[in-house]
């Protein structure tokens, strides 16, 4: 059986041999892999020794959760239209997912318990929330929106505490990412 590191190194090539149900899975470099890897770390807590990979289906309505020890699909979690962003605080007690809900007036944020895989809370957000970020302590969630705003959400109360205009153009974001390839900027 190939190691996890070998599997990730060749994940973007479907000709790489693997085992289990995801041996032909194509994981894109860039945004997709960053979202997936963040979730891998999230669901591997001390009480839960098995690491999981969470794959968002951005044009569908579900998340596929894979066991990385044997590459087996553990669960398909139906969450709603267009899961787009995923964020996990350092304590890994909650996983946050944005639902873009493409061409709808509002998106959603989800609070998902990584141990039970239950959706514990839903919150209506701005139009088409993008790739989200959470502070390491898990207190604040940052949500960039299609309309140029970003929302700051208190994860404890599930309320929006601030809405700001980010004012970054796509060209500015691309310029930042060219100069610092390890940094990704979601602008909505």
81-104 tens-digit pLDDT: 999 999 999 999 999 999 998 888
54-83 tens-digit pLDDT: 999 888 999 999 999 999 999 999 999 999
- The residue written with tokens 């979601």 in the block is 186
Closest to 131 (Cα-Cα) out of 157, 100, 162 = 100
What pLDDT is recorded for position 174?
A: 58
CATH, range 4-179: 2.130.10.10
């Amino acid at each position: 059986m190939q190691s996890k590191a070998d599997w990730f190194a060749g994940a973007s090539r479907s000709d790489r041999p693997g085992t289990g149900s995801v041996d032909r899975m194509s994981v894109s470099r860039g945004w997709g892999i960053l979202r997936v890897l963040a979730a891998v770390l999230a669901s591997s807590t001390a009480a839960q020794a098995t690491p999981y990979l969470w794959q968002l289906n951005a044009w569908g309505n579900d998340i596929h959760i894979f066991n990385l020890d044997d590459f087996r699909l553990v669960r398909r979690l139906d969450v709603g239209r267009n899961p787009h962003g995923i964020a996990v605080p350092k304590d890994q007690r909650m996983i946050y997912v944005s639902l873009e809900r493409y061409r709808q007036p509002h998106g959603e944020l989800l609070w998902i318990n990584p141990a039970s895989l239950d959706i514990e809370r839903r919150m209506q957000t701005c139009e088409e929330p993008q790739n989200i970020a959470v502070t390491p302590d898990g207190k604040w969630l940052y949500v960039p929106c299609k309309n140029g705003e970003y929302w700051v959400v208190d994860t404890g109360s599930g309320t929006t505490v601030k809405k700001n205009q980010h004012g970054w153009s796509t060209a500015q974001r691309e310029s930042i990412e060219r100069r610092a390839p390890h940094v990704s900027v979601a602008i909505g």
